[in-house]
Structure 1
Amino acid sequence: MGEHYFAARPDAASNRRTVDLVLPDLHLRLDTDSGVFSPDRIDPGTRILLETVPAPPQHGDLLDLGCGYGPIALTLGKRSPQASIWGVDVNQRALELAEDNAHAAGLDNVRFSLIDDLDPDLRFAAIWSNPPIRIGKNALHELLLTWLGRLTPTGLAHLVVQKHLGSDSLQRWLNDQGHPTERIASRSAYRVLRVAPRVEGGTR
């Protein structure tokens, strides 16, 4: 998985299956495949994010950064039916699955796009993400600064990161970049970070 899920076109042979996302307020059956992130189950970090974040804004544009086959984006779509939900990824196979899953769930307020194809003028009232830590620190930092810079002035991002993959150092780094960041939840070695728009005085 670590070798393929952030590839544009994974080499892994297709092996379609389904997983269930069951939360107190919704139940989604999602198609997955080899070569995408966490194909055999809802990733524990994703589940913790979806169980702990406050309710998303009910209007505006909301983003799932690194959407995979869509569990976060589709949850946003269910919880904010009047909002416009965007899921972005580099993995074409994951995006095709996400589109199929949105259609199956009847969520016409959720759209998916390659990460470089989304309208650069969009600004987001919320960003939810289980970010691709394994792409490497420099690439991750560039990714986060790019998209966090597209929050609205009152928008907030929520990120879930494993402690042993650097959640605490990422929190410090984001604060150093001028993005006020605090931990709002901690469970099973995962941290959920709330990130605010950049304020003057960051080091970037």
Structure 2
Amino acid sequence: MAEQAEQGEQQPHRHYFSADPGVASRPGTVPVVLPDVQLELRTDSGVFSHSRLDPGTKVLLENAPLPKNRGDILDLGCGYGPIALTFASRRKRLRVWAVDVNERALGLVRENAEAARLGNVTACLPDEVPPETRFGTIYSNPPIRIGKTQMHAMLLRWLPLLQPGGTAYLVVQRHLGSDSLAKWLDAQGLPTTRLVSQRGYRLLEVQKSPDLP
């Protein structure tokens, strides 16, 4: 899971939505350089934005607020882990779940967490998250290109798992439907506010309605 296909590359990248990317391994590294966090992350072909830090992800990392409560953190569609590892570094006492369908991506998250000595990161497939788990904060650069039906189903699975008072932060490219997504989320009982509009991306803040279980 991930958001946009990488720009400037010729081959399609839908394989990063799969359990097995089905492409030859080409290991590399991507730096994450922020005022408070510096990481050198291992990456590989077949995972989202493997050659650079995705610009939408950077908008999220630079602008999304820190968790407002002490609940677990979820990085939904984690790729090789820039969001999960950044917030695991910022909040080392909170457990961070890095969830993806791509097995290669999950392996990279585990390697990167070990290299950064971040023992608070759990990388796993969606169905490996215990069903009773609830999240204080969700961060995601969601996979818009999987299609609206699948995208909506994914969000309706995970966003209601926010704890009372929990918040989700989603970064979505403006030209790929960020405003219509915000309206749809509102209609689902998930009040949504645009926090930032930057470099062609919207950062959305999503709350859980008290009416949702």
- Fold shared per TM-score above 0.5: yes
Query: 2:163 aligns to what?
Result: 152
- Contact 1:58–1:80 (8 Å) recurs in 2: no
String of CA shifts for 1:153-204, please: whole Å, max 9, x gaps.
110000000011110000000001110000000101100000001343x8xx
Query: 1:90 aligns to what?
Result: 101
Separation in structure 2 between the aligned mates of residue 15 and residue 198 of structure 1, nearest angstrom: 44
User: 1:134 aligns to what SS in structure 2?
Assistant: helix
String of CA shifts for 1:35-59, please: whole Å, max 9, x gaps.
0000000100000001001122463
Query: Structure 1 vs Structure 2: percent identity of aligned residues?
Result: 55
Separation in structure 2 between the aligned mates of residue 20 and residue 146 of structure 1, nearest angstrom: 32
1:2 positional shift = 2.8
User: 1:116 aligns to what SS in structure 2?
Assistant: helix
Write out aligned runs for 1:16-55 (5 A).
16-55=27-66
C-alpha RMSD of the superposition? 1.1
Separation in structure 1 between the aligned mates of residue 13 and residue 195 of structure 2, nearest angstrom: 27
Give the aligned length: 201
Q: Which runs of 4+ in 1 moved over 6 A?
A: none
User: 1:160 aligns to what SS in structure 2?
Assistant: strand
Q: Which has the higher contact order (CA 8 A, sep 6+)?
A: 2
Match of 2:114 among 103, 107, 121: 103
Separation in structure 2 between the aligned mates of residue 57 and residue 25 of structure 1, nearest angstrom: 18
String of CA shifts for 1:3-23, please: whole Å, max 9, x gaps.
211111011110000010000
TM-score, scaled relative to structure 2? 0.92
Unaligned runs of 5+ in 1: none
TM-score, scaled relative to structure 1? 0.96
1:83 positional shift = 0.5
Partner amino acid, structure 1, of 2:130: D
- Contact 2:71–2:163 (8 Å) recurs in 1: no
- Contact 2:69–2:166 (8 Å) recurs in 1: no
1:120 positional shift = 1.0
Separation in structure 2 between the aligned mates of residue 143 and residue 86 of structure 1, nearest angstrom: 16
Partner amino acid, structure 2, of 1:48: V
